Structure 1
Amino acid sequence: MQSDAQAFLDNGGAMGTRIAAHDWAGHPLGPIEGWPPALRTALGIALGTSFPTFVTWTDNLYMFFNDAYRPVLGAKADWALGRPLREVWSEAWPAVGAIVEQALAGESCFFENFPVTLERNGYPEQTWFTFSYSPVRDERGAVSGLVCLVVEDTAKVLALARHKQAEERLALSLEASGNIGTWSYDADTGATFVDERFARLFQVDAALASAGTDLERFTSMIHGDDRARVVAAIAAAIRDESLYDIEYRIPQLCGKDAWVNARGKVFTDPATGRRRFAGVAVDISARKEAEQARAESERKFRSIANVIPQLVWSATADGVNDYLNHRWQEYTGVPDTAARGAGWHAAVHPDDLPALLDAWQRSLADGSAFQVEHRLRHHADGFRWVLNRALPVRDEAGAITRWMGTLTDVHDHKRAAEDLKAAARRKDEFLAMLAHELRNPLAPISNAAQLLSLAPNDAARVRQSSDVITRQVRHMTNLVDDLLDVSRVTRGLVELDRQEVDMKTVVASAVEQARPLVEARRHALELHVAPAPAWVVGDRTRLVQIVANILNNAAKYTPPGGRIVLAVDTPGDEVRIDVTDNGIGIGANLLPHVFELFTQAERTPDRSQGGLGLGLALVHSLVQLHGGRVEARSEGRDRGSQFTVTLPRTAAPARAVVASADPPAVTSAARAILVVDDNVDAANSLAQVLQSYGHDTRTAAGPGAALAAAAERWPDVFILDIGLPGMDGCELAGHLRALPGARPALFLALTGYGQPHDRQRSRSAGFQHHFVKPVDLPALAGLLAGLA
């Protein structure tokens, strides 16, 4: 609630509130209660008006203003209250100072569209104002201040200037064009005015047309088929003040039709405020003739494009798609109208779209041919690979007028090529693994042979060497047998000894074969055998091989201490064997290929699973020979896997004795040298050979044992197998060097991997020498003998 002395501020809006809240104690005018009545009255009137208004008081011209005046002040509005007018408008004072002095002398004055340069927003700005200054007198009749009402005309003055410039440019353009006429319809009087060019199009007397005539005189001369449409468009444009843009024909005396494009809109004259409907008319007869010729060519092109097998597209010179043939919708299921512009982006595989758009932009930039392979949505087959090609179409001057392109389905070809590459890669990986697997047993065999030649009379050593050779030869024999088995089966050379076979006894035999590996890896094996007879017709030996291979596979690819479940069931007229494990699982990319030759899960250098990866390929072929099927399932990495063999069931023979439903369950020198190899025979035989040369040799079967042995007594030489379980030899070398008390030592790599990249990797890990199994003992002995 304002005091009586401040009542004049009650209706003053935001500025009234601001004046009331301002601290006037330190101002030359003092507190509001002491302000003279004439000032309060003038401020009350100024604050209550909606016109931009300011009041000054005393010779110093202290400034007050209302809310409507704040936009005029711009950024100055925040600090101008109570400041001298000369200070607030210092940049304008040279222009308005004399006018202010005239008002202070008691003379009112008025100016219209007054130009002045202001800096109200931090930069010089040309402005125009209409304003009046009036003196304000105190109780004695003396002029003590002045009041100024202001209207800013800047926008109006600039609009008039632009309008004038536009009219001048339009006049010049029309004069230069030769085929563009102007017209104007006065909405208040109904008179229509046209220039000479427009009159010529309508075959009307130019003098009469420029003097003004009825609009109907012109509309009556429009082609009868177009007239009603034009009259309706004119009425709508005037009524709605919308854009008028229409094409129509005007019959000519020569018997032809002239085509006209008329454009216009309703304008309000910025000076008079009168409304007029005005625009231009362009003779487009030549363009229409050219369009008709192009339309004939376009029809021919589309007829051809719609019968070829490719998807055909075209784009404007700036790369906007404007045409797709019928094959587009047939292929993608997306209407061609929805794919124009950038709509086709949605049909491209999102992973391929960025690279495709980058290539397209490069072709647009330099005019080079466009060629990209990418995936495109197919209405019934997900995404398929296509070859997208386009060439620029150029005019006689060499400028690009548009782009023409095709999309060719190359999905089957690309997949075939990828399958060939994958098969070649798997073959190469298989051959490398085969070489490795064959070298591994050769190493202990070679070492044992060396021992036999060095100590032929040592019975214990001869017996030990013989055992090593026997075990390793057996391992090599198994590898060769697998290779020969696969070769015979895939070439159709295997003949099955078919007879009635009880699959329960087959499972029991397979379990016994797999028992050593299952127990060695501490797996729990659960057997679930249905009580119903499970007889099939087949080769018992091969059936045992099928189940044993799957069990061994589960044992290999399940980490130690895992769980394997073998179940036999007889649904319908089939016998089904399920082997389920909680092992490393099968990746989605590998799952479709697990039964193919040369296919194995990804291997790390430790090769902890071993083998050549032939087992499942052999299983698949043998199951097919028995008229059955085998399937693999897995939910992914570390989610385990399940293999299911299904065979046709037959009736049990009359002589058959039903086998036990529960097969036997599986319960679960002198240089100090450290030889580290998970193949115990290889490690021990090499250590014994080196001992025979006089070296102090110890062995370790894994990385943990090697670290413990090195910490207990640091050797002069480390001979490390690269393919160690858990931590490969390259990593182990780094951990050994990091042990407390580690000293310089010779690090020798001993491995079945001998490719150039394998040697490079061992060098990078700090090995001074790289030996391939079986080791060249004379070379190794010579190296050790030559150590300083």
Structure 2
Amino acid sequence: MNSSNLPAAGVPTEQRFQTLFEQAPFSAQLLAVDGRTLQVNRAWQDLWGTHAGDPLLEFVLSGYNMLTDPQLEAKGVTAYLRRALAGEAVRIPAIHYDPVEMGKPGLARWVEATARPITAPDGTVAEVLLIHEDVTERLTAERQLRQSEAQFRTIADAMPQMVWSTLPDGHADYYNKQTYEFTGLPPGTMSGERWADIVHPDDRQAALDTWSQSLSTGEPYEVEYRLRHRCGEYRWVLGRALAVRNENGELVRWMGTCTDIHEQKRARDELLASNRRKDDFLAMLAHELRNPLAPISTAAHLLKTSSSDPAKVQRSAQVIERQVRHMTELVDDLLDVSRVTRGLVELDRGPVELKAVLADAIEQVRPLIDSRGHELSTRMPPGHVHVMGDRPRLVQIVSNLLNNAAKYTPPNGAVSVTLAAGQDVEIRVADNGTGIERDLLPHVFELFTQGARSPDRVQGGLGLGLALVKSLVELHGGQVSAQSAGQGLGAAFTVTLPLLAIGHPVAPTSGDLMSLPPAARTLRVLVVDDNKDAADTLGMLLETLDHEVHLAHDSARALEMAENGSFDACVLDIGLPGIDGYALARRLRAQPFGATATLIALTGYGSAGDRHRGNAAGFDHYRVKPADLGELARLLQQGRGEQGVA
């Protein structure tokens, strides 16, 4: 306030009061005891946007009575004024005033006021002084803030994540609805301490350390930890928070979220575990395929250097035969599990007697069981037990389970096979071997899964047997399950199949033992294979059976030979250069001898589609390399009497 505008000393008190009233920096309105406005100051006029001669000012100073104004009565102002007129200083809360409501021009305002009585010497109230405070901007800002907060809460509650905020010191002051729905805690009861209580004990310290680091540096917060869900289980969440700063760069708040990543993390962990199993499998595959190559290479060298020693030749041949058989089994497992798991195998269904199936499976695995010194026990129900299925595949199921039990049981262990028939048929193969770890048990039927191998590495194989068992059992409409009390406590596998009620017994069948039968008659045989070693060795074998063998390494040469002579049988590869084996078979059938010649496909292509193409091309038999040589010899002897691609 400019001192030059103040009255000088000696100026009457009344004049001094008038000057101070007029120049006061706050809006002042002086009321008479009957509610009329006696006087207003310049700040009052500025507050309402009026001035001398303005209709609003003239109206207020010309008999307007605040005590009788119905609008002020409705706003509750009158009750406050009466208290002031009774001698009480009162604070009138913020009220919205609009001069337009009185039919006068002026600015609408939110105003808070203090009403102070002015008393006469005798103590009676002579006047009331109203001091106004314009709170329009404050209330507008507060309203906008409330609207912003309401909007934020609406957005936060609509988010699938848990949303939270804290003060700069990390003290939490907000959690959204999703937080309470996830945790199951009553709304409004969450706090930093309660949050720490529901974090998994193993993750609590790491989460706290990361949070403390962010609080001290202002760096973004990010950590994965397990949080207790309302159902009681701990679920993995991803916690994140960013610092909120003002225009001066000062940290004023932390805004954070927690996202439920339990399923994604479990899927990620399972994928990583699957990749590890796949890597282990590939390493094992390389090992298992390389192992037989060493004795085969050595035996081949011995055959070259010791051809004059019949004993060494015999032993070398036996080594090669065993190792090739082993490699064939590995490759067959790979191809078999690929075809079965992709649904490319069609079962040759018919009534099958299961006791005979179990007998054949035991016979297959008996050498391994005996070599390990295991005691094998069986328990069978009386009478015949039948199912509808593919007999070789059922034998494969049981032999795989028996093979698994024998491999994972230490020497001199016990293996049992139990067959039970009720509404369904149950085949149970149990052992007292190494057992199955709890973490591995749910995965034993998955591809690339194997238990720990013992130092003697008797287990061998690629770990595909159980995956194959599961797929084959399900193709038969059954189920397979694994049970184990833990490592070192043995394991049991149970196959459940639908029982087939049958009125008459079905004679059990069993595969004939494969051997090389002597030739009943000498045949003129054409062997066609672009693999020279394969053609030469097969030719030598057939010659040892007293057949006349002619070799060709491509289709053009084979056709040239066919035009110059006839053949009783032709053994053809499919993947030949130029003209493939299917086209070659058709052209050989067109030769004069083709109507009576036996055509056998011997190839590495073994899918169902390949076999159908072989049938259409005119092959009598279709065999996948390496074929059983004893069976091949018998097929040659059969001629065309029993045809059919299989």
Determine if the TM-score, normalized by the shorter chain, exceeds 0.5.
yes
Who is 2:312 aligned against?
Answer: 461
- Alignment-mate amino acid for residue 562 of structure 1: G
Does the 8 Å contact 2:92/2:115 carry over to 1?
no
State the Cα distance separating 1:356 from its structure 2 match.
1.1
Q: Secondary structure at the match of 2:219?
A: coil
Who is 2:380 aligned against?
Answer: 529
Does the 8 Å contact 1:221/1:250 carry over to 2?
no
Cα pair distance change 1:223/1:252, threshold 3 Å: closer
Asked if 1:427 is matched to 2:243, the reply is no
Asked if 1:538 is matched to 2:389, the reply is yes
Q: Which residue of 496, 504, 508 corresponds with 2:359? A: 508
Q: Which runs of 5+ in 1 are unaligned?
A: 1-218, 226-248, 259-283, 660-788
- Alignment-mate amino acid for residue 408 of structure 1: T
Cα pair distance change 1:520/1:336, threshold 3 Å: farther
State the Cα distance separating 1:289 from its structure 2 match.
9.2
Supply the distance in 2 between the matched residues of 1:605 and 1:367 (Cα, whole angstroms): 54
State the Cα distance separating 1:467 from its structure 2 match.
1.3
- Alignment-mate amino acid for residue 493 of structure 1: L
Cα pair distance change 1:321/1:257, threshold 3 Å: farther
Who is 2:257 aligned against?
Answer: 406
Does the 8 Å contact 2:90/2:114 carry over to 1?
yes
Asked if 1:449 is matched to 2:300, the reply is yes
State the Cα distance separating 1:324 from its structure 2 match.
1.0
- Alignment-mate amino acid for residue 485 of structure 1: D
Who is 2:486 aligned against?
Answer: 636
Supply the distance in 1 between the matched residues of 2:333 and 2:396 (Cα, whole angstroms): 11
Who is 2:184 aligned against?
Answer: 333
Does the 8 Å contact 1:490/1:621 carry over to 2?
yes
State the Cα distance separating 1:251 from its structure 2 match.
4.6
Q: Which residue of 620, 628, 637 corresponds with 2:470? A: 620
- Alignment-mate amino acid for residue 230 of structure 2: H
Does the 8 Å contact 2:113/2:130 carry over to 1?
no
Asked if 1:579 is matched to 2:433, the reply is no
1:535-567 C-alpha deviation (Å, 9 max, x unpaired): 211001100110110111011111112122221
State the Cα distance separating 1:221 from its structure 2 match.
4.7
- Alignment-mate amino acid for residue 560 of structure 1: P
Q: Secondary structure at the match of 2:202?
A: coil
Supply the distance in 2 between the matched residues of 1:578 and 1:468 (Cα, whole angstroms): 35
- Alignment-mate amino acid for residue 270 of structure 2: D
Cα pair distance change 1:522/1:288, threshold 3 Å: farther
Alignment of structure 1 residues 38-187 onto 2, 5 Å: none
Cα pair distance change 1:601/1:256, threshold 3 Å: farther
Supply the distance in 2 between the matched residues of 1:255 and 1:330 (Cα, whole angstroms): 52
Percent identical across equivalent pairs?
55
- Alignment-mate amino acid for residue 264 of structure 2: H
Who is 1:520 aligned against?
Answer: 371
Who is 1:275 aligned against?
Answer: none
Q: Which residue of 450, 454, 477 corresponds with 2:328? A: 477
Q: Which residue of 395, 415, 421 corresponds with 1:570? A: 421
Who is 1:370 aligned against?
Answer: 221
Cα pair distance change 1:338/1:449, threshold 3 Å: same
Cα pair distance change 1:255/1:375, threshold 3 Å: farther
Cα pair distance change 1:561/1:222, threshold 3 Å: farther
1:163-184 C-alpha deviation (Å, 9 max, x unpaired): xxxxxxxxxxxxxxxxxxxxxx
State the Cα distance separating 1:651 from its structure 2 match.
0.3
Does the 8 Å contact 2:337/2:467 carry over to 1?
yes
- Alignment-mate amino acid for residue 468 of structure 2: L
- Alignment-mate amino acid for residue 388 of structure 1: G
Q: Which residue of 135, 150, 158 corresponds with 1:299? A: 150
Asked if 1:320 is matched to 2:166, the reply is no
Who is 2:211 aligned against?
Answer: 360
- Alignment-mate amino acid for residue 613 of structure 1: G
State the Cα distance separating 1:440 from its structure 2 match.
1.1
Supply the distance in 2 between the matched residues of 1:658 and 1:618 (Cα, whole angstroms): 24
State the Cα distance separating 1:428 from its structure 2 match.
1.6
- Alignment-mate amino acid for residue 470 of structure 2: H
Who is 2:51 aligned against?
Answer: none
Supply the distance in 1 between the matched residues of 2:192 and 2:436 (Cα, whole angstroms): 44
State the Cα distance separating 1:502 from its structure 2 match.
1.7
Who is 2:544 aligned against?
Answer: none
Does the 8 Å contact 2:379/2:418 carry over to 1?
yes
Supply the distance in 2 between the matched residues of 1:255 and 1:602 (Cα, whole angstroms): 92
Q: Secondary structure at the match of 2:188?
A: helix
Asked if 1:347 is matched to 2:192, the reply is no
Q: Secondary structure at the match of 1:337?
A: coil
Who is 2:240 aligned against?
Answer: 389
Supply the distance in 2 between the matched residues of 1:336 and 1:256 (Cα, whole angstroms): 43
Asked if 1:561 is matched to 2:561, the reply is no
Q: Normalised by the size of structure 1, how large is the TM-score?
A: 0.47
Alignment of structure 1 residues 142-291 onto 2, 5 Å: 221=89, 251-252=114-115
Asked if 1:437 is matched to 2:288, the reply is yes
Does the 8 Å contact 2:419/2:427 carry over to 1?
yes
Q: Secondary structure at the match of 2:277?
A: helix
State the Cα distance separating 1:223 from its structure 2 match.
6.2
Cα pair distance change 1:655/1:632, threshold 3 Å: closer
- Alignment-mate amino acid for residue 592 of structure 1: P
- Alignment-mate amino acid for residue 338 of structure 2: S
Who is 1:611 aligned against?
Answer: 461
Who is 2:23 aligned against?
Answer: none
State the Cα distance separating 1:250 from its structure 2 match.
9.1
Supply the distance in 1 between the matched residues of 2:137 and 2:115 (Cα, whole angstroms): 15
Q: Secondary structure at the match of 1:530?
A: coil
1:429-474 C-alpha deviation (Å, 9 max, x unpaired): 1111111111111111111111111211011111111111111111
Supply the distance in 1 between the matched residues of 2:283 and 2:476 (Cα, whole angstroms): 32
Does the 8 Å contact 2:246/2:252 carry over to 1?
yes
Cα pair distance change 1:220/1:250, threshold 3 Å: farther
Supply the distance in 2 between the matched residues of 1:604 and 1:551 (Cα, whole angstroms): 18
Cα pair distance change 1:257/1:314, threshold 3 Å: farther
Supply the distance in 1 between the matched residues of 2:401 and 2:458 (Cα, whole angstroms): 17
Who is 2:62 aligned against?
Answer: none
Does the 8 Å contact 1:496/1:538 carry over to 2?
yes
State the Cα distance separating 1:533 from its structure 2 match.
4.7
Supply the distance in 2 between the matched residues of 1:609 and 1:333 (Cα, whole angstroms): 50
Who is 2:159 aligned against?
Answer: 308
State the Cα distance separating 1:294 from its structure 2 match.
4.2
Q: Secondary structure at the match of 1:351?
A: helix
Cα pair distance change 1:291/1:443, threshold 3 Å: same
Q: Secondary structure at the match of 2:411?
A: coil
Does the 8 Å contact 2:168/2:253 carry over to 1?
yes
Cα pair distance change 1:618/1:589, threshold 3 Å: same
State the Cα distance separating 1:383 from its structure 2 match.
2.5
Does the 8 Å contact 1:532/1:570 carry over to 2?
no
Supply the distance in 2 between the matched residues of 1:374 and 1:441 (Cα, whole angstroms): 49
The alignment of Structure 1 onto Structure 2 pairs a total of residues equal to 396
Who is 1:242 aligned against?
Answer: none
Does the 8 Å contact 1:628/1:647 carry over to 2?
yes
- Alignment-mate amino acid for residue 335 of structure 2: L
Supply the distance in 2 between the matched residues of 1:567 and 1:397 (Cα, whole angstroms): 80
1:313-337 C-alpha deviation (Å, 9 max, x unpaired): 1111111222111111222222343
Cα pair distance change 1:290/1:342, threshold 3 Å: farther
Who is 2:495 aligned against?
Answer: 645
1:271-296 C-alpha deviation (Å, 9 max, x unpaired): xxxxxxxxxxxxx9999997776444
- Alignment-mate amino acid for residue 294 of structure 2: A
Q: Normalised by the size of structure 2, how large is the TM-score?
A: 0.57
Cα pair distance change 1:562/1:286, threshold 3 Å: farther
- Alignment-mate amino acid for residue 480 of structure 2: V
Supply the distance in 1 between the matched residues of 2:315 and 2:372 (Cα, whole angstroms): 25
Supply the distance in 2 between the matched residues of 1:592 and 1:255 (Cα, whole angstroms): 82
Q: Secondary structure at the match of 2:343?
A: coil
